[in-house]
Structure 1
Amino acid sequence: MPGVHKPSVLIATLATALLAGCGSGDSTVAKTPQNTSPAAPPPAAPSSVSAPSSSPAPADPCAVDLAAPQIAKAVSDLPRDPRSGQPWSPEPLAGNYNTCADISAVIVKANTNAEHPSTRAVLFHRGEFLPQSVVDTYGFSGIDLAHCTGDTVALQNSSGIPGLTGLVKFHWNGSGVEVVGNTAR
């Protein structure tokens, strides 16, 4: 039965012809362009020295913070300026407010367009507003940081009148605020 083997011989012949036609010159691998760029360096081995972090350092809770919400809250609780009848601006002109000091202060001005608005000091104990601290804290224009400590704040009184410009120190005595010094400049 010579005809019985013919289809299998035919299939074998075709398979051989196909395989012969797919030499190395026709393969997909041979037609794919080769990468000519240099190889990437291997990843660095971990070390005990860490790279600098791009995240910011945590805020210092004892740093001066003139944008603290406690300031705006305290200023909103103040009675209006007796001279202009206006409320006080919550943005301090000067200050050393922080939550760690026994006493700190901010200077605010009346919320008016007057050329020389009234100013006053607002005192704090460990970040808490001291509403009954000192009866008259009007007229202070700044803080003398060189004379401030954790329990004493030195406020500048600049009236513009010679001999009436001075420095007034307020001290936290453990239970309240007392005036400990008034120096004319």
Structure 2
Amino acid sequence: MAAAGCAADGDSGSSATHVHNPDPTTSSMPTGCGVDLSASVIQSAIAALPVERVTGAAWSTDPRGFEGNFDPCATLSTVIITVQGATGSSPDQALLFHKGEYVGTATQDAYGFTSLDVDSTKDDTVGLAYKTPGSCDACADGTITRVQFHWEGQKVRMIGIPPK
């Protein structure tokens, strides 16, 4: 499945993300560097999102529930959000930021059990781990699918394919 606004680029398992930021948020960008999951640019990005399309739930704006590595100085960083009133298996969405500016969601669809893959995350690359439940939501026999999102000058390239 391609990322939101993506078009296949001919490489198997890759797609180029062509996202448009409908509401530029650079004016509210923090001036310091470092991870800051409470930055106002994150709140602005969430406000621009439509409700989660499967559940119809609004996205949570509470930074205590965010995961990620948002850094206004990083080439590419992310904040993983969930819906209001979430449970452990509720949909999550990864918001991507280039130098602190919101560039879009990692994927069109939201997935439960999404986490930052720290080992495959670098300044210009965000790694995400998507867990597909096994015999039950909390059981250890689920499958982990790792996907990377790499900044390539003007766009994000998805490396790998999220679960179906």
Query: Which TM-score tier does this pair reach, normalised by the shorter chain?
Result: 0.5 to 0.7
Aligned-partner Cα distance in 2 for 1:93–1:116:
15
Structure 1 position 138 matched with structure 2 position 117: no
Query: CA offset at residue 111 of structure 1?
Result: 1.0
Letter of the 1:138 counterpart = A
Structure 1 position 168 matched with structure 2 position 147: yes
**Structure with a larger share of its residues in strand:** 2
Show structure 1 runs of 5+ residues with no match. Answer: 1-58
Aligned-partner Cα distance in 2 for 1:76–1:183:
25
Structure 1 position 79 matched with structure 2 position 47: no
Asked if 2 retains the 8 angstrom alpha-carbon contact of 1:147 and 1:154, the reply is yes
> Of residues 68, 72, 75 in structure 2, which corresponds to 1:95?
68
What TM-score results when the alignment is normalised by the length of structure 2?
Answer: 0.67
Which runs of 4 or more aligned residues in structure 1 lie more than 4 Å from their structure 2 counterparts after TM superposition? none
Aligned-partner Cα distance in 1 for 2:76–2:107:
16
Letter of the 2:149 counterpart = F
Query: CA offset at residue 145 of structure 1?
Result: 1.6
Structure 1 position 64 matched with structure 2 position 35: yes
SS of 1:130's partner is strand
**Structure with a larger share of its residues in helix:** 1
Show structure 2 runs of 5+ residues with no match. Answer: 1-29, 135-140
Aligned-partner Cα distance in 2 for 1:167–1:115:
19
Identical aligned pairs, as a percentage?
Answer: 31
Q: Which has the higher contact order (CA 8 A, sep 6+)?
A: 2
**Structure showing greater Rg:** 1
* Cα distance change, pair 137–177 in 1 and its aligned pair in 2 (3 A): farther
Asked if 1 retains the 8 angstrom alpha-carbon contact of 2:126 and 2:148, the reply is yes
Asked if 2 retains the 8 angstrom alpha-carbon contact of 1:84 and 1:110, the reply is no
Say what the alpha-carbon RMSD is for the aligned residues.
Answer: 2.5
* Residues matched between the structures, number: 125
* Cα distance change, pair 80–145 in 1 and its aligned pair in 2 (3 A): same
Task: Map Cα deviations across residues 70-108 of structure 1 (whole Å, 9 max, x no partner).
Answer: 111101111101122111012343100011111100111
Asked if 1 retains the 8 angstrom alpha-carbon contact of 2:82 and 2:90, the reply is yes
Aligned-partner Cα distance in 2 for 1:86–1:130:
22
